[in-house]
A and B are shown apart, each in its own frame.
Chain A
């Protein structure tokens, strides 16, 4: 028998029986009947697998309970974050709606005031833009100053 067939047999043994096709299993059986060294290899592998499965590696109850507690705490944290984000989004939607509704009225109001005060068009329009943008700029600066309130509590990127 050439060396390649031994290697092939040992490769099949190493892959484990269940994943072999019927023809591979039949070939392996025939080979093992006539090859003592591969039979010994198969027996050693089988014995190793039995021994490996008998090795007791178990998780402590404390580890399991700690993990469950950590997972529950993190789950609560994520829920709170989701609720905060929902509030932020709702605020954005409400602000957007309010801006869309009130801007034309404000614009006309400023125009009327500017006419009364004899202010040039450029000046009142620039003034209106500053007035109109300043709440959004102030809110953005506030969020930036608070920094990580929308990220995780430990400051790492998760999820």
Chain B
């Protein structure tokens, strides 16, 4: 490993170690800072995972409460965002299981076409019309594909997580993640083309 890479890895480790220490102490200032730092990424993930803004906001709050309660379980060897997303995912899956007797994956099986409300993305009123339309087109296309594909695509392409990190968040093997990305993209691209036409 070269010097720059060493510096980067050590820097990341010291940051995650500081987070782990703060979480063990249940430091409220650290949690405030983390909430602010990860607010958009976490909410975006939850909005796409649940396809429901209100539910996503509820899960957002519950996720941070769970982070506070289980902070001692965070392993600083891993990125904080990976752990955060996996907590959010588990809470959402548990909630959906209680609501409907099936897992997230089972509920939203790929080609069954389970109807979902498009996510309310609440774009700023100042957004350009074109951007608004594009956002709606993307959201509609994403909602139309299976939740596990959507989740993999959002984590990979929007949140920029590595394949291994997505596997850690979802608890699925790496091969499954690759397959979900491939199938998800294959399901998505024709929908986007169709919407553009």
Contacts and interface: CB of A to CB of B under 8 A. Distances in A.
Given A63-B60, A75-B28, A158 B162 contact: no
Nearest to B70: A159
Interface stretch (B4-12, B82-90, B103-111, B131-139): B131-139
A66 interface: yes
At the interface, is chain A mostly helix, strand, loop or mixed?
Answer: helix
A27 interface: no
Contact of B61 (A15, A67, A158): A67
A133 to B, nearest CB: 37
Interface stretch (A28-36, A52-60, A107-115, A135-143): A52-60
A58 B185 contact: no
Using C-beta atoms within 8 Å of the partner chain, give the interface range for chain B: 35 or more
A53 B158 contact: yes
A48 B192 contact: yes
Contacts of A57: 40, 43-44, 47-48, 119, 121-122
A44 interface: yes
B182 interface: yes
Contact of A55 (B39, B121, B178, B193): B121
Given A15-B178, A57-B47, A70 B157 contact: no
Nearest to B38: A59
Contacts of A56: 121, 123-124, 127, 131, 135
Point out which of A41, A55, A68 has the most chain B C-beta atoms below 10 A from its C-beta.
A55
A15 B181 contact: yes
A19 B163 contact: yes
A59 B69 contact: no
27 contacts: A15-B181, A16-B156, A44-B189, A44-B192, A48-B138, A48-B157, A49-B157, A51-B134, A51-B138, A52-B158, A53-B158, A55-B135, A55-B158, A56-B135, A57-B47, A58-B122, A59-B39, A63-B61, A64-B36, A64-B39, A68-B32, A71-B64, A71-B65, A75-B26, A75-B31, A79-B26, A158-B69
Interface of A: 10-11, 13-16, 18-19, 41, 44-45, 48-49, 51-60, 63-64, 66-68, 70-72, 74-75, 78-79, 158-159
Given A48-B138, A68-B31, A79-B26, 19 more contacts: A11-B182, A14-B185, A15-B182, A16-B157, A52-B158, A53-B157, A55-B121, A55-B158, A56-B131, A57-B40, A57-B47, A58-B40, A59-B60, A60-B122, A64-B39, A67-B35, A71-B68, A74-B68, A74-B69
